[in-house]
A = this chain, B = another copy of it.
Amino acid sequence: MIASRARGSLVMVDTREVSVYAGTTVFTRMPGGYRAGSLREIAQRVGMSEAGLLHHFKNKSTLLLAVLDHRDEQSRQIVNFDDADGVETLRALVKLARYNASIPGVIELFCTLSAEATSPSHPAHEYFLRRYEYVRESITVAFRRIADEGRLIREIDPYRAAVATTAMMDGLQVQWLLDPTSTDMADALAEFFRGYVRGYDLDALEQLLDARAAGSLVNGEGAGAVASL
C-alpha cells in the first residue's frame, strides 16, 4: 500500500496495481520498450525503491507478464471473441485496427515484444504462444461460420484464413509504425476481408456498428488494452 494525495484527499493505493501501470508506461515507451525500460525508472515512478518493487515482482520478467496479463483482462471487456460471430468478428477486427492507430506506444510494445518473444528463452514466449493460438482459433471460428453461411468468396480453409488475417494485422502494424503515411491499417484490413467474404460491405450495418464501437471504445476504461489482440 502506498499513500498518495489525489484531488486533495488522502488515498491509499494498491502498490502492485500502481506498479503495473508504471510498468506499462515504461515498457511501452520507445525506443527500447521492455528491454530498455529499467526497474529503476519504474520504481521511481511508483515512488518506491527498486528493492521495494522487487518485493512484489520477483524480477523484471515477472513484472512484464503482469503488465501483459493486465492488458488482456481489459481487452476481453472490449472485444470479446466469444460474443461476436462470423462477419461481425471481422468487422470488430477492422474497428480494432482503426482504434490501434490511436495508441502507437502500445502497438509498438506488442509488435516489438512479439518479435522478441519469438525465442523460446524469452520471458514472454509462452504468453505469446498462447495468445496467438487463442486469436487464430477465434478467427478460425469466425471464418467457419462465414463458410457455413455460404458467404465465402472462394474455397479456403478457415484456419488458413485465420493465419492470414493475423499475419495481415501484424504486418500492417510494422509498416504503419515505421511510416504512418504508408498505409491505413483499417482500410487495408477491410480490403483484405473483401477478398474473402461475399457482401462484406453492408454499409448500413457497418455504420451502425461503427457508432456502437466508437462509443464503447471512447468510454471504455482501459481501451488501450485492445492493442494486444
Q: How many residues of A contact B (CB 8 A)?
A: 44
**Which residues of B sit under 8 angstroms from A160, Cβ to Cβ?**
183, 188, 191
B31 touches A116 (CB 8 A): yes
Copies in the complex: 2
Binds B, one of A3-11, A16-24, A107-115: A107-115
**Which residues of B sit under 8 angstroms from A179, Cβ to Cβ?**
129, 132-133
A150 within 8 A of B: no
Interface SS of A by simple majority: helix
**Which residues of B sit under 8 angstroms from A213, Cβ to Cβ?**
none
Q: Which B residue's beta carbon lies closest to that of A185?
A: B167
The one of B116, B132, B168 in contact with A168, judged by C-beta atoms closer than 8 angstroms, is: B168
A207 within 8 A of B: no
B163 touches A175 (CB 8 A): yes
A44 within 8 A of B: no
* Residues in A140-164 with C-beta less than 8 Å from chain B: 154, 156, 160, 163-164
Given A167-B168, A168-B167, A172-B167, A182-B136 contact (CB < 8 Å):
yes
A56 within 8 A of B: no
Binds B, one of A63-71, A117-125, A218-226: A117-125
A171 within 8 A of B: yes
Question: Could you list 29 A-B pairs, sorted by A, with CB under 8 Å?
Answer: A31-B116, A31-B119, A31-B122, A108-B115, A108-B119, A111-B115, A112-B115, A114-B174, A115-B115, A115-B116, A118-B178, A129-B178, A132-B175, A132-B182, A133-B179, A136-B175, A154-B195, A163-B175, A163-B183, A163-B188, A164-B192, A167-B171, A167-B174, A167-B188, A170-B174, A170-B175, A171-B171, A171-B172, A195-B196
B30 touches A178 (CB 8 A): no
